[in-house]
Amino acid sequence: MKITVVGLGKIGLPLAVQCAGRGHHVLGADVDPDVVAAVRRAQAPFPGEPELAERLGRVVDVGALEATTDTTAAVTASEAVIVVVPLYVDGAGAPRFDALDAAMAAVGRGLRPGTVVVVETTLPVGTTRGRLAHALQEASGLRAGREFFLAFSPERVSSGSVFTDLARYPKLVGGVDTASTRRAIALYEAVLTFAERPDLARPNGVWDMGSAEAAELAKLAETTYRDVNIGLVNQFALYAGRIGVDIGTVIEACNSQPYSHLHRPGIAVGGHCIPVYPWFYLAGDPDATIVRAAREANAAMPARTVDMLERVRGPLRGTTVVVLGACYRGGVKETAFSGVHATVEALRHRGAAPLVHDVLLTDDEITALGFEPYRGSPVHAAVLHTDHPEYADLTPADLPGVDTLVDGRGVIDPSRWPGVTVLALGRATAGEQRER
């Protein structure tokens, strides 16, 4: 097949490489000329994705993957189109369709009869059949389900394990009609291979969800579940800390029973998915009080964690506090919706002077985020925001002058920090334990 993948970001580019590696001719389209130039040179425009550089080099060298900024021309030359363009939210959590609308208009202008378009961008329920079908029809003059085919198939992969996840998880597909579903299923069966999953109720592979709405809801449900689970566990952790109970022991005990799947508590929920997609769900179901409460509880965790520091150390005005980690997740160079922003804001609000360090970011990159980099000067306290493996090996010698450390991820061994008060979510301080 000739396939266009629209959006060569951290999900779209590996998917384009996967398709090309299965023997298809792929045109990767992106509005960023620097990204397109990098792909043409067979250079990954972002670091940290295992296997990407090697696989990209192979498919570019043999001409199986080409890159272009002309989405419309690429679509005109293709039998199938996969759209992986981000959908953003504004400050109030409302979806911002600017980028996706522009992409769909460009796709529509190039549509030919018989083309199948599959959208992988996570969407509010009803968006594929409503907004996107209308946009494609208006731009192309063709009718969805009759002259072209339209389906939704959510991306279900994570940065740092995209190729593994493409094989590990079933590909969920739902079209705006039966014919569209069939075409989309055939597309993914031609470009993906699946690992054996004896734990699943049915064979791993491409799963027919019956409708675009079912596929849209499946993605929102699985990600919103994680946000709600984390919000609940964070509530448990805050309570456990107050009563002198180790929440880690409690979670281990609960999860020994097959109906409990408690996640880990943490200072923040970040990334493109978990803090964003609950808002997409709420766009269709605004009365979902549990979803809204969990999102608000998780958004408040950076400030609640800074509260822990202030309760133990006293007023923070005039103190220097280093925040360890700006990336939203350990080992991944990505700061999208990272809790570091709210953590620094909470420290500044209390009069502290926050500094930021990250093992994956340069001082210039940290400065570009609006923070002052930590360069090894004496500090009064530290807040661990990101669970980079390197931080587990730190000692007081790495942070001269530190007397209090708040571990927002539960990865610090207090025995490595003699003379320093170490706090963690869901764990009472030594002083609180003695009082009990």
Q: What residue ranges of the chain are covered by domains with CATH 3.40.50.720?
A: 2-210, 301-435
Q: Which of 30-44, 82-96, 163-177, 309-323 has the lowest mean pLDDT?
A: 82-96
CATH class of 301-435: alpha beta
Q: In the CATH scheme, what is the code of domain 2-210? A: 3.40.50.720
Mean pLDDT of 21-32: 98
CA distance 312 to 222: 37
pTM (2 d.p.): 0.91
CA distance 170 to 155: 10
Residues in contact with 79: Cβ distance below 8 Å, sequence separation at least 6, in sequence order: 1, 2, 3, 114, 115, 116
pLDDT reported for residue 188: 98
- Residue 86: partners with Cβ closer than 8 Å, 6 or more residues away: 7, 9, 99, 100, 121, 272
- Is residue 434 exposed (0-12), middle (13-18) or buried (19+ Cβ within 10 Å)? exposed
CATH number for the 220-296 domain, one of 3.40.50.9100, 2.30.130.10, 1.10.599.10, 1.10.1040.10?
Answer: 1.10.1040.10
pLDDT band of 430, cuts 50, 70, 90 = very low
User: What pLDDT was estimated at residue 435?
Assistant: 39
If one counts every other C-beta atom within 10 angstroms of the C-beta of residue 88, the result is 13
d(CA 257, CA 284) in angstroms, rounded, equals 34
Instruction: List every span in the chain annotated with CATH 1.10.1040.10.
Output: 220-296
Task: Using the predicted structure, report yes or no on whether residue 164 has a pLDDT greater than 70.
Answer: yes
What mean pLDDT do residues 176-183 have? 98
Per the CB < 8 A criterion, the answer to whether 267 and 385 are in contact is yes
Higher pLDDT, residue 69 or 430:
69
Rounded-to-integer distance, Cα 27 and Cα 66, Å = 5
pLDDT tier for residue 92 given thresholds of 50, 70 and 90: confident
Q: Indicate whether 264 pLDDT > 90.
A: yes
Q: How far apart are CA 107 and CA 51, in angstroms?
A: 29
111-140 pLDDT, tens digit per residue, is 999 999 999 999 999 999 999 999 999 999
Q: Is the pLDDT of residue 436 over 90?
A: no
The one-letter amino acid code at 186 reads A
pLDDT at residue 93, as a whole number: 77
CA–CA gap between residue 147 and residue 149 (Å, rounded)? 7
